[in-house]
């Protein structure tokens, strides 16, 4: 259950997009190892892997590697933060409120936004979701939203809202949402 970030630069995405499937196990060769720096780090490992033009990715079967790996950050730790946190976090919480969808213009584009409120052990945290993530929330709500739904948010950015209240925000193409997932951590959370 150790994690390391791997990055594919924009100019190489098309080369690897069809060859890497989430949930599969691979043997990789010929990549660069560099210090893990930047504003949105997905793992707390001191290094990250950077794919090169000559990087090879070969599928292998290995059931010893877990298909999901969460590092849940407790709400009390999140709510104690006083400055930006460079690592993306995973959270699990009870869906207690869904705000109204709003639209705003950013860089000439109309963006959809919705705010969820999650709770855990009498603590609450807000999570602002944008773009395609709003559509995911609507699909879930349209499927028969149930009270006491558990939401898992993977790879969210810790964000300070205008009122200096700490919350979470999605990172486009990185954050993942799970509604009532079939995970051992969800069973533990409910208990």
The reported pLDDT for the residue numbered 130 is 94
Q: Which residues 6+ apart lie within 8 Å of 146 measured at CB? A: 180
Indicate the pTM of the whole model: 0.82
Tokens of 91: 């959270």
Residue-wise pLDDT for 30-67, tens only, equals: 999 999 988 778 888 899 999 999 999 998 887 777 76
Average pLDDT, the chain: 88
- The tens digit of pLDDT for each residue in 125-138 reads 999 999 999 999 99
């Amino acid at each position: 259950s150790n994690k390391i970030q791997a990055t594919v630069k924009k100019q190489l995405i098309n080369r690897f997009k069809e060859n890497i499937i989430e949930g599969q196990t691979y043997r990789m060769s010929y990549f660069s190892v560099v210090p893990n720096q930047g504003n949105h780090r997905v793992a707390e490992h001191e290094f990250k892997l950077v794919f090169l033009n000559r990087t090879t990715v070969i599928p292998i079967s290995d059931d010893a590697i877990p298909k999901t790996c969460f590092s849940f950050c407790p709400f009390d730790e999140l709510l104690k933060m006083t400055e930006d946190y460079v690592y993306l976090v995973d959270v699990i919480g009870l869906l207690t409120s869904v705000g109204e969808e709003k639209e705003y213009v950013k860089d000439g584009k109309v963006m959809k936004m919705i705010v969820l409120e999650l709770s855990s052990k009498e603590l609450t945290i807000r999570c602002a979701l944008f773009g395609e993530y709003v559509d995911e929330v609507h699909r879930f709500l349209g499927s028969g939203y149930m009270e006491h739904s558990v939401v898992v948010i993977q790879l969210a950015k810790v964000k300070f809202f205008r009122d200096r209240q700490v919350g979470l925000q999605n990172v486009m193409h990185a954050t993942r949402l799970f509604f009532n997932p079939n995970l051992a951590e969800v069973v533990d959370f409910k208990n």
